[in-house]
Amino acid sequence: MAVLSFRLSNTLTRDFCVAALEEALARFGPAEIFNTDQGAQFTSDAWINVLEGAGVRISMDGKGRWVDNVFVERLWRSVKYENVYLHAYRDGREARAQLSAYFDFYNRRRLHQSLDYRAPDEMYFGAQNSEFAMAA
pLDDT beyond 50 at 131: no
Kindly provide the residue ranges of all beta strands, DSSP E only, lying in 26-124, ordered along the sequence: 33-36, 57-60
* pLDDT number for residue 132: 47
Q: What are the contacts of 92-101 at 24+ separation with CB within 8 A? A: 92/8, 92/10, 95/8, 96/8, 99/6, 99/8, 100/6
Close Cβ partners of 102 (under 8 Å, ≥ 6 residues apart)? 79, 82, 83
Mean per-residue pLDDT for 11-38?
90
Mean per-residue pLDDT for 128-132?
49
* pLDDT number for residue 40: 83
pLDDT tens digits, 26-67: 999 999 998 887 888 888 999 999 999 999 999 887 666 666
Amino acid at 37: D
More confident site: 2 or 136 = 2
CA distances, 40 to each of 46, 48, 77 (Å): 11, 11, 22
pLDDT tens digits, 65-112: 666 677 888 898 999 999 999 998 999 999 999 999 999 999 999 999
How far, in Å, CA of 118 to CA of 2, rounded?
A: 12
CA distances, 12 to each of 9, 41, 69, 118 (Å): 7, 7, 18, 33
